[in-house]
Structure 1
Amino acid sequence: MKRPTRADLLAAAGKTVPDVTAPGLKVLFCGINPGLYTAAIGHHFGRPGNRFWPTLHAAGFTPRLFDPSEEQQLLPLGYGITNVVSRATAAADELADDEVRAGGLVLVEKLRRLAPTFLAVLGVGAYRVAFGRPKAAVGEQPERIGETRVWVLPNPSGLNVFYQQKMVALFSELRGVACPSHG
């Protein structure tokens, strides 16, 4: 896949990336919002250096390392991808809290329609704002959205160095609960 140019990245601001969803998934992974690189190539977690795809594989969700362009191959495995906010920005901190809260309401409607077993929000701060849970921490949350269990994981962005060493272990914990037959 061709790397986007600076002009491509600038043109990607405000674009959206289609959800990778289906009813009844085991886990619906939910990013904060697409970055410009992701929006420019049209595939979730597309920026080189983002740890989503390597972490998904290392945690046992995928049988091999998927390229972002292979995102549709998650569906037969029982996984999908969406975002709290669909609009692409250069950085998640460009999103206003009101926009994140509004995205949380849209996400609740998706969950009611799609009914995944788990929602895995990839970003503690985004989850806190979107769902009004200022003290939420990484891990399974006490509340459900409909029948969907909610799990918060660290944002896999290469910029998030705080969880770099623990990322695979935290994703593996979810996999162990969501997919116990896999190990």
Structure 2
Amino acid sequence: MGDVIAEDLRVLFCGINPGLMSEATGHHFARPGNRFWPVLHLSGFTPRRLAPAEQEELPAYGLGITNVVDRPSARADELSREEYREGGLILAEKVTRLRPRWLAVVGVTAYRAAFDDRRAVIGRQERTIGDTRIWVLPNPSGLNASWSLPRMTEEYERLRAAVDDEG
């Protein structure tokens, strides 16, 4: 499944890996229960709620999407530690090349595995990749029931405020 990327983005969002619906449609966060697209709008990143099929509009807003691991699966827990580590290396190379201001990894477990940082929590990270700052967001999957839509929106708003504050 292809990335939605460009150089010098405000935020490069990074999912864990494509789900089966995303792989079938070619659109990121395509499963109907996934909250990425609603939260992106509710948190102020986009002026309206985009549908997964409109993902190519994101670079016009300074946004992009990639994944830690390219291999599709029904659930993220089907991925191996090696896939996460390799994905983290590839992601770091991509970020170095594209130079987004922020990398937003959606899923703390994926971030911990990809960057070998077992103590990472949701929010801004100390680590950077070159000049790119990193923020870990809650996974918007409908399976992540521990995060309500309003609470998740608040965390995405925190990132948007940091992006806006730092230019």
Q: What's the TM-score, normalizing by structure 1?
A: 0.89
Question: How many angstroms apart in 2 are the aligned matches of 1:145 and 1:162?
Answer: 29
2:82 is the counterpart of 1:94 = no
The CA distance in 1 between the partners of 2:4 and 2:164, in whole Å, is: 19
Matched, 1:112 2:96: yes
**Corresponding residue number in structure 2 for 1:11:** none
* Alpha-carbon distance change, 117 to 181 in structure 1, aligned in 2, over 3 angstroms: closer
Correspondence for 1:169 among 148, 154, 164? 154
Q: Distance in 1 between matches of 2:10 and 2:66?
A: 14
Q: Which deviations, in whole Å up to 9, do the C-alpha atoms of 1:120-155 show, x marking residues without a partner?
A: 000000000100100000000011011100000010
Query: Secondary structure at the residue paired with 2:30?
Result: coil
Counterpart in 2 of 1:123?
107
User: Aligned equivalents of 2:106 and 2:76: distance in 1?
Assistant: 12
For residue 179 of structure 1, the aligned residue among 157, 161, 164 is 164
CA distance in 2, matches of 1:88, 1:31: 11
Number of positions where the alignment pairs a residue of Structure 1 with one of Structure 2: 166
CA-CA distance at 1:181 after TM superposition: 9.4
TM-score, normalisation: structure 2: 0.97
Residue 55 of structure 2 is matched in structure 1 by 71
Task: Provide runs of 4+ in structure 1 moved above 2 Å.
Answer: 179-182
CA-to-partner distance for each residue in 1:32-78, whole Å, 9 max, x for gaps?
00000010011000000100000000000000000000001110110
Give the superposed CA RMSD. 1.2
- CA displacement, residues 66-121 of structure 1 (integer Å, 9 cap, x when unaligned): 00000011101100000000110011000001110100000000001000000000
Unaligned runs of 5+ in 2: none
Which letter does structure 2 place at the counterpart of 1:81? I
Matched, 1:38 2:22: yes
SS for the counterpart of 2:125 is strand
Aligned equivalent of 2:12, options 13, 28, 31: 28
CA distance in 2, matches of 1:68, 1:54: 10
Rg: which structure is higher? Answer: 1
Q: For residues 139 and 84 of structure 1, what CA distance do their matches in structure 2 show?
A: 18
Q: Is 1:147 aligned with 2:131?
A: yes
CA distance in 1, matches of 2:92, 2:127: 13
Give the letter aligned to residue 177 of structure 1. A
The percent of aligned pairs where both chains have the same amino acid is: 55
Check 1:110–1:181 CA distance in 2 against 1; reply closer, same or farther (3 A cut).
Answer: closer
- One-letter amino acid of the structure 2 residue matched with residue 54 of structure 1: P
